[in-house]
Structure 1
Amino acid sequence: MANKGYIIGIDAGTTGIRTFCFNDKGKVISSAYEEFKQYYPKPGWVEHDAEEIWSKTQKLIGKAIRSGKLNPKDAVTIGITNQRETSVVWDRKTGKPIYKAIVWQCRRTSDICKNLKEQSLEGTFRNKTGLVVDAYFSGTKIQWILDNVKGAREKAEKNELMFGTIDTWLLYKLTGHKEHKTDHTNASRTLLFNIQSKEWDDELCKILRVPKSILPETFNSKNLFGFTSMVKTLPDGIPISSLVGDQQGALFGQLCTEPGEAKNTYGTGCFFLFNVGEEFRISNQGLITTLALGPEGKTVYCLEGSVFIGGAVVQFLRDNLEFFHASKDSEKLVKSIKEKDDIVFVPAFAGLGAPHWDQEARGAIFGLSRDTSAAQITRAALKAIALQSYELAHAMEKETGKALKFLRVDGGATSNAWLMQFQADILGTKVIRPSNVDTTVLGAAYLAGLERGFFKSVEALKKLETKNTEFTPKMKDKERNEEIRKWNWAINRVKTNS
């Protein structure tokens, strides 16, 4: 296998780093994974240590290569996918972050967003970026760092600072501090990038008081971004040929490159993307418009619905409430109960995303009684993941006027067969899970391989052997409607504008 070469895929997620080595059939040769620390300095605030993310990435690249018994020199290229809106600002001279990375889940800039809305600026942002004004996105996070870290704004005005999402940070480190670049999909999540002109927008930068000089250069996701330099676990000179936001990476990894094709990723959050091709459109159903990849990796548009807390609710039950030792145990626990109940869990720990966009909403559990068990609360939590995803699918259908024929799914939480069956039941349509659920990083590997000629074309990728598991709806309409009714009632109870 080493004679044919291999692709290194880096998946810098919200709770951990995964590195993969892929062969020329798109199959995983080897992989390595480690979680990293989450910081919660105040309620609603979430931070990461960017230096820890880099050190673990560097370590895990070596670990994946060793576990596959591969030669580092045979790496053909590197593809990077990442948690998107998480923001890092670092010193141009020292290469050191001036503050911890502010994570996409962090709500500290909610007041900044409220102020922008009060100034009637939301339409300006929406028409240029396709996004709603929300603390979810990067722009207000950058503003907060510049305003709250001593001397940061003065340094930024003097071109002494650099900003990047995690892809940009890892590229910078992998290339020995030589490259400061990002791709269109990550740039489209900043509230600063005009997704029609595909350029940083002067007006938006001025509104958020972010100097354009600190922003990275932008390119298509499939592009030669640079070469490795001074990486402990890799030789110099390996090309880095793709950067792509995790959800757009998953869309491409599922090869949903044509208009009308969609997927839902079940990770820390849930992210439903619907390819609309060359058409730029603003949603009337609480969805956002963003950039994705079409045939051969060309930048196109897609509609997206984002659920802030998906698989993270299982981690909450595991770590905070200690209901089970490992996340996978949640499925066995739920299968142990047969009786029905009226418990509804709304995990709005970081507010509500699409289609509600309620920054102030908070989580709640309804229907508790004296004999409520951990298994029942866990079942309600898994249902919440599927019901939030149902809301996104319903909004997509209303927006496009097209019924969902089936749903392609991926991400770690899809390994829970009970959850996937409930998802099919609540949607009333077939759910298709690929054998490799890590399609986020597979998309980055596909793009990098296409750029280097390691893969011939998207059509050739579609012919590669894959095995899917299909979940067919079994729930009766009456029961489905009752589940949705209870969910809608609970959502309206937690929304601040209800």
Structure 2
Amino acid sequence: MKKYIMVISAGANVIKATIYDEQFNIISKDSEKFTQYTPSSYRVEHDAMEIYEKSIDVCKHAIAAAGIGAKEIISLGITNQRSTCLVWDKTTGLPLERAITWQDSRTNSKCREINESPWGEKARKAMGWKVSPAYSSLSLNWYINNVPIIKEKIEAGDALFGTIDTWLIWKLTGGKKHVVSYSNASSMGSFQLRKEEWYTEFLQTLGITTDIYPQVVNDSGDFGVVLAEIFGREIAIGSDIADQQAALFAVECNQRGICKIMNQAVSIIDIYIGNECIISDYGLNTVIAWNINGKTEYALEGFDSETGSALQWLEEGISIISDSLESEIIAKEVEDTGGVYFVPALTGISVPYHDCMTRGTIFGINRGTTRAHLVRATLEGIVYRLKDILDVVEKDTWIKIDEIRVVGTDSKNDLLAQMMADILNAQVDRPYLVEADSFSAAQLAGLAAGIWTFEDFKGALKIEKSFFPELSEEVRLARYAGWCEAINRTLGWNENLFQKETTES
């Protein structure tokens, strides 16, 4: 009987299911978008039940499309958007409020308060992240202080807390496993990296008890089994790895001078640093890359949460592209942006500015500006943000990044990849497997099931296309100088509006 691995990828706005055979080939996949709730300009929420139900749907569709039975799937892997979290009733199995996503900035005032106190630096050095709205612990603090039923359920011992991976595993196993992987735990703003335990002292200052937190376990191993009633047969869950760390693993970025950049709903740069936990002094995050067989390895990371959302806004907000890949076709209608700069900070800007009050802005519009100029400026804005972050990575590590491996849905855009090579002045390689997070989750699930060993992964990565710098240094520097001017004019743009909204709420 043939053996297959199935993976659930719970992204920022899409749920995917992918089925792999023993030769790492994708034999079927399915996906569905889920609802983005934005009750205010600084809130972004998800319906966790919708995410769970659509996860089941896409898995069933992928199994049907593959023409196989559940008995042939010997392991299930999970990879997920990080930091998005929720609280649920452990008796009814229902969420007590919508999930607060990593793009949400409602806890900005609380973050400022902490960062201005001794706890700001203490927390950063212990957990590897500057205290920010992406902290799941800050979202939990908000739940406790603003949703009475959540506070009541926690005090009564009737509630559980977790990120989306924890939620899916708990639901799939019928509540038998309340766990989170090391890679995901390190992104929650709750976990001491060097001690590898929940930061109880910090959480107590937020009025949080770790009783509702999941158990931290290896990224590859035993996560329980999916209830037989869901797919018609029990399926072992063999992996749970955060999406960015998963992509880093899959594209074999395990040596100095090579980094991974994911471009889709978010742009994230990760550079593997091995088994030494280095805390950045330049605003980067330190994460646990993965823990396999009890061995913890680390990565430094910089991210921009709005670059992919900018393309989504072009599609859904102002309807000038039909999908993200059409941006390449339209942008090629012009040779340059015509002097237009688009700062894609729709809900704030991260490294190295860390300003939640920045908002998306467009500079340089004139009578000759067309939609092609705006689309091209959006793509360039994504790349300029990558350069902002990559410059910090190089300062922090003293490593010149000469080779970049790009993954994510927007990596299929040749023009974007060439812009990256030009502005970042590096070779850009696009593997055949651009959705690398799913592939890694499959690899780790296969390891747990005994299908594969690490030796089987050697040579699995194939490069589809490479891009090389074509711009002169003079042009590169001049264009980036214009970008820096645009950024400086944008910082703090939404400060007064945010204060007014939070006061009224």
Structure 2 vs 1, CA of residues 135 and 345 (structure 1 numbering), >3 Å: closer, same or farther? same
The equivalent position to 1:431 in structure 2, one of 408, 428, 433, is 428
1:30 corresponds in structure 2 to 28
The equivalent position to 2:302 in structure 1, one of 300, 305, 316, is 305
Q: Is structure 2 residue 147 aligned with structure 1 residue 145? A: no
Structure 2 vs 1, CA of residues 58 and 87 (structure 1 numbering), >3 Å: closer, same or farther? same
Structure 2 vs 1, CA of residues 16 and 234 (structure 1 numbering), >3 Å: closer, same or farther? farther
The equivalent position to 1:251 in structure 2, one of 239, 248, 251, is 248
The equivalences for 1:235-246 within 5 A come to 235-236=233-234, 238-246=235-243
1:412 corresponds in structure 2 to 409
Q: Which moved more, 1:371-380 or 1:111-120?
A: 111-120
Structure 2 vs 1, CA of residues 478 and 6 (structure 1 numbering), >3 Å: closer, same or farther? same
Q: Is the 8 A contact 1:11 1:441 kept in 2?
A: yes
1:475 corresponds in structure 2 to 471
Q: Is structure 2 residue 337 aligned with structure 1 residue 330? A: no
2:487 corresponds in structure 1 to 491
1:272 corresponds in structure 2 to 269
Q: Is the 8 A contact 1:176 1:230 kept in 2?
A: no
Match for 1:400: what amino acid? T
1:116 corresponds in structure 2 to 114
What is the CA distance between 1:282 and its match in structure 2?
1.6
What is the CA distance between 1:370 and its match in structure 2?
2.7
Q: Secondary structure at the match of 2:416?
A: helix
Q: TM-score, normalised by structure 1?
A: 0.96
Structure 2 vs 1, CA of residues 126 and 231 (structure 1 numbering), >3 Å: closer, same or farther? farther
Q: TM-score, normalised by structure 2?
A: 0.95
2:98 corresponds in structure 1 to 100
Partner Cα distance (1:87, 1:378) in 2: 33
Q: Is the 8 A contact 1:221 1:297 kept in 2?
A: no
What is the CA distance between 1:244 and its match in structure 2?
0.8
Q: Secondary structure at the match of 1:26?
A: coil
What is the CA distance between 1:416 and its match in structure 2?
0.7
1:170 corresponds in structure 2 to 168
Structure 1 outlier segments of 4+, above 4 Å: 258-261, 294-297
What is the CA distance between 1:295 and its match in structure 2?
7.7
1:104-144 superposed Cα distances (whole Å, 9 cap, x missing partner) = 00011111111212323111111110000110221111111
Q: How many residues align?
A: 494
Q: Is the 8 A contact 1:175 1:230 kept in 2?
A: no
1:446-465 superposed Cα distances (whole Å, 9 cap, x missing partner) = 111112111121x3202236
Partner Cα distance (2:364, 2:71) in 1: 58
Q: Secondary structure at the match of 1:203?
A: helix
The equivalences for 1:219-234 within 5 A come to 219-234=217-232
Q: Secondary structure at the match of 1:151?
A: helix
Partner Cα distance (1:280, 1:324) in 2: 43
- Gapped regions of structure 1 (runs ≥ 5): none
Structure 2 vs 1, CA of residues 79 and 257 (structure 1 numbering), >3 Å: closer, same or farther? farther
Q: Is the 8 A contact 1:113 1:133 kept in 2?
A: yes
What is the CA distance between 1:361 and its match in structure 2?
1.3
Match for 1:98: what amino acid? L
Q: Secondary structure at the match of 1:223?
A: coil
Match for 2:100: what amino acid? I
What is the CA distance between 1:342 and its match in structure 2?
1.2
What is the CA distance between 1:296 and its match in structure 2?
7.1
- Gapped regions of structure 2 (runs ≥ 5): 496-505
Structure 2 vs 1, CA of residues 205 and 234 (structure 1 numbering), >3 Å: closer, same or farther? farther
1:161 corresponds in structure 2 to 159
Partner Cα distance (1:200, 1:108) in 2: 23
Match for 1:299: what amino acid? T
1:366-399 superposed Cα distances (whole Å, 9 cap, x missing partner) = 1111331111111111011111111222111111
Partner Cα distance (1:212, 1:427) in 2: 43
Q: Which moved more, 1:249-258 or 1:357-366?
A: 249-258
Partner Cα distance (2:229, 2:244) in 1: 27
Match for 1:343: what amino acid? V
Q: Is structure 2 residue 16 aligned with structure 1 residue 18? A: yes
Structure 2 vs 1, CA of residues 439 and 231 (structure 1 numbering), >3 Å: closer, same or farther? farther
Structure 2 vs 1, CA of residues 88 and 291 (structure 1 numbering), >3 Å: closer, same or farther? same
Q: Secondary structure at the match of 1:163?
A: strand
Q: Is the 8 A contact 2:200 2:209 kept in 1?
A: no
Structure 2 vs 1, CA of residues 231 and 109 (structure 1 numbering), >3 Å: closer, same or farther? farther
Q: Is structure 2 residue 447 aligned with structure 1 residue 450? A: yes
Structure 2 vs 1, CA of residues 9 and 234 (structure 1 numbering), >3 Å: closer, same or farther? farther
Q: Is the 8 A contact 1:7 1:77 kept in 2?
A: yes
1:385-437 superposed Cα distances (whole Å, 9 cap, x missing partner) = 11111122211111111211200110001011100000011011100001110
